[in-house]
Chain A
Amino acid sequence: GAGVSQSPRYKVAKRGQDVALRCDPISGHVSLFWYQQALGQGPEFLTYFQNEAQLDKSGLPSDRFFAERPEGSVSTLKIQRTQQEDSAVYLCASSSRGGVSFYEQYFGPGTRLTVT
C-alpha cells in the first residue's frame, strides 16, 4: 500500500474488555514496530518484529499486552482486560530491513484507545 494503515482509528473500551488493534505495514517492509504514546508524551517503544519473528518485546508494559504478526505482514496488538492507564495512542511503524533503511521508519496514523 501507499503507507502504513491502522484500524480502528478510535476505540472506546470499558475497563476489563479486550481490544485488538490492527496494523498494515508498507508492502515489503520487513521490520514492524509498535509504540504507545500517552497524552503529552513522546512515543514509547513496545515491541519489534522482523518478518513474523518477534525479536524484542521488552517494552510491553505487562502480560496483558500481546502482539503477533503470523504471516510477516499484518500485525495485531491485543490488550486484555484493559485498564484506564492503557488509554493512549498506539502507533505502528514499518521499515525496510537492509542497512540504514532499517532506521527510516514510516508511521501509521495511530489508534486512539480510550478506556472508560
Chain B
Amino acid sequence: AQSVTQLDSQVPVFEEAPVELRCNYSSSVSVYLFWYVQYPNQGLQLLLKYLSGSTLVESINGFEAEFNKSQTSFHLRKPSVHISDTAEYFCAVSAGTGNQFYFGTGTSLTVIP
C-alpha cells in the first residue's frame, strides 16, 4: 500500500511571502500525484496533478509542484501568497494501476495579513 506524508500540519505565512508545503510518498512503482485544496466550509478541489511528462506542474492560481522521483517528493510552492490561499491542502497519490487514492493528513495554510 502507498503512504503519503505531509510533515507540516500547520503553516502560517505572511501575505505576499513565499510558501512551500511538503509532501513525500512511499512507492516503488510509477505513481500519479495530486494536490487538493479545501477552503473553509467547502469540499475538496483538485489543485494540480502530475500524471506524466514535465515534472513541474502548475495551477491556474500560481501554485506549482515538482515531482522528484529520486526523493519521492511532490512539494507544493507559491512565490507570493494571498489571503484567499488560506485553506487545508492535501497531497494524494495513486499507483496508477488500481482504483485507490491515498491522501496525506493535510497541511493547514494560514496567510497572515
Contact = CB atoms under 8 A, between A and B. Distances in A.
Interface in A1-20: 3-4
Interface string A15-48: 0000000000000000101010000111111001
Interface string B73-113: 00000000000000000101010001111111110000000
Q: Which of A33, A41, A42, A93 gathers most chain B CB within 10 Å?
A: A42
Interface string B19-56: 00000000000001010100000111110010100000
B13 interface: no
A67 interface: no
Interface of B: 4, 6, 32, 34, 36, 42-46, 49, 51, 90, 92, 94, 98-106
Interface of A: 3-4, 31, 33, 35, 40-45, 48, 55-56, 58-59, 91, 93, 100, 103-110
